[in-house]
Amino acid sequence: MTLLVVATGNPGKLREMQAYLADSGWELTLKPEELEIEETGDTFAANACLKASQVALATGNWAIADDSGLQVDALNGTPGVYSARYGKTDSERIARLLNALGDEVHRGAQFVCAVAMARPDGAIALQSEGVCRGEILHTPRGHGGFGYDPIFYVQEMQLTFAEMTPELKRRVSHRGKAFTSLLQQIEKVRNYEL
């Protein structure tokens, strides 16, 4: 198996990526703890590429990174790339978003996930993106997931992300779609690498 460094210090994200890439032939590991990458890009794709490239260069291994967030139509795409920094806790972020929306009738939104994979020399080998459309509820529903999941409602499923089983969420979510797209390309990279 070829080592693939995940550009995160979050063991939960490592487990999630391991689930998506279980049969891909790559051995995933966390980036070194002391290696911090500042997300300075103005798009999800730019941040994913930045993290993957810098981790690959620093470790001399293949690296993978993702960046994702919520874009609310009525708020001109806010919180966007600042989704994780929109408050200190999940409940603060949700409260701030609901307050910003107020009584807005048009509550369309989308979760976006960009994934990038870099060669050991830092060159980006693969990129993919997934989008899941939904709407923002007035009050949270469900107890699963994390972040904005309790207020993000997917019409086709009649559920919030927080109400979905992990398997269903993986299938319909922005991250699931991004990794499905990536998996369709990853074999080409393995063949190049070997």
pLDDT digits (tens, 9 = 90+) for 149-179: 999 999 999 999 999 998 899 899 999 999 9
How far is it, in rounded angstroms, from Cα 63 to Cα 135? 33
pLDDT of the residue at 10: 78
Q: What is the pLDDT of residues 45-102, one digit of tens each?
A: 999 999 999 999 999 999 999 999 999 999 999 999 999 999 999 999 999 999 999 9
CB-neighbour burial class of residue 25 (10 A; exposed 0-12, middle 13-18, buried 19+): middle
Rounded Cα–Cα distance for residues 176 and 78 (Å): 22
pLDDT value, residue 126:
94
pLDDT higher at 112 or 190: 112
- The b/e string for 87-117 (b: 16+ C-beta within 10 A; e otherwise) is eeebeebbeebbeebeeeeebebbbbbbbbb
pLDDT at 113 over 90: yes
* DSSP annotation string for 107-174: -EEEEEEEEEEE-TTS-EEEEEEEEEEEEE-SS---SSSSTTGGGEEETTTTEEGGGS-HHHHHHHSH
- Segment 33-49, tens digit of pLDDT: 888 898 899 999 999 99
Q: Is 66 a catalytic residue?
A: no
pLDDT the model gives residue 194: 40
Is pLDDT above 60 for 139? yes
Residue 192 has pLDDT above 60, yes or no: no
- What is the maximum span of the chain, computed from C-alpha positions, in angstroms? 56
Can you give the CATH number for the domain in which 139 is found?
Answer: 3.90.950.10
Check residue 190 and give its pLDDT.
Answer: 61
Q: Residue 48: in which H helix or E strand, if any?
A: helix 44-59
Please write the tens of the pLDDT for every residue from 5-32.
999 887 778 888 888 888 888 899 999 8
Cβ count near 42 (within 10 Å) = 10
Does 191 have pLDDT greater than 70? no
> Residue 19 has which token pair?
């689930």
Q: Which entry of 67, 73, 103, 121 is annotated as an active-site residue?
A: 67
What range does the domain containing 110 cover?
2-193
Q: What gap in Å lies between CA 47 and CA 184, rounded to an integer? A: 22
User: Could you give the number of structural domains in the chain?
Assistant: 1
Instruction: Give mean pLDDT, residues 118-147.
Output: 95
